[in-house]
Amino acid sequence: MGSCNHQWSIRNARHGYCVEEGCFECGARLSFFSAEPRPPKEEYQEGRHFWAYRGSFQTVKFDLQCRTCGRIVDLNDVNGLMLSECADRDCQVGALVRQQGPDSLVYVAVCPDTSHPTGKCVSSEGVEALNQYFNARLAPIGRKVTVVPCKLCNSIDKCRGTSIVDVGLTEIQ
């Protein structure tokens, strides 16, 4: 990312919903961020897919901006972060989890289309910036995280971990 020793800070933080949909024809899943006051629940057809609402969680999205050079990293392709507890021997993320020292944890940056039909996932620029941002905050207290894109998971839909989302808050009336 150039010669700047980036000092990232959060910009454009926005609250909304991570909405999950599934195709009842082929079983494909996708998720997207909605800033609407209530998450959309309508079923619709898109090409060969018939998308139906599966659930939603309150969440926060943000981008990163370097305080030194002004560079902005758009994190629209990050739908959430999950603390990985993967124990799959054949999974690259599981291998990373086992390699971590006691002061380090692995987080998976989850993209909107976790089945990756086009091979597209969270950008490498976004993953690098997230690693730099969190580790700059954690280094003074002797802790570390490794953020990886969800395409490294054998199956993010079956992966063991803790997603950082809020469930049911808007149901409290």
Partner 1 sequence: MTVSELVKKTGLTVINEYKDREIESVYISDMVSDLIASAKPNSVVITLQTHKSLIAAANLAGAAMIVIVNGRKPSEDVVALANRTGIGLFSFDLDSWAFAKKLVHLGFE
Interface with partner 1 (CB under 8 A): 10, 13, 15, 58-60, 62, 80-83, 102, 105, 107, 134, 137-138, 140-141, 143, 145, 162-166, 169
With CA atoms as reference, report the closest residue to 147 among 97, 113, 76. Answer: 97
As measured in angstroms, the least distance from the Cβ of 143 to partner 1 is: 7
Per-residue tokens: 161: 């971990």
As measured in angstroms, the least distance from the Cβ of 145 to partner 1 is: 7
Task: Select 60 or 96, whichever has its Cβ closest to partner 1.
Answer: 60
C-alpha–C-alpha distance, residues 73 and 133, integer Å: 11
As measured in angstroms, the least distance from the Cβ of 166 to partner 1 is: 5
Task: Select 70 or 168, whichever has its Cβ closest to partner 1.
Answer: 168
Task: Select 80 or 149, whichever has its Cβ closest to partner 1.
Answer: 80
Task: Select 116 or 143, whichever has its Cβ closest to partner 1.
Answer: 143
As measured in angstroms, the least distance from the Cβ of 162 to partner 1 is: 5
Q: How far is CA 102 from CA 87, 110, 121, 145, 158, in A?
A: 16, 24, 29, 11, 25
Cβ count near 69 (within 10 Å): 13
Cβ count near 58 (within 10 Å): 15
State the DSSP H helix or E strand holding residue 30, giving kind and residue range, or none if neither: strand 29-34
Per-residue tokens: 159: 């992966």
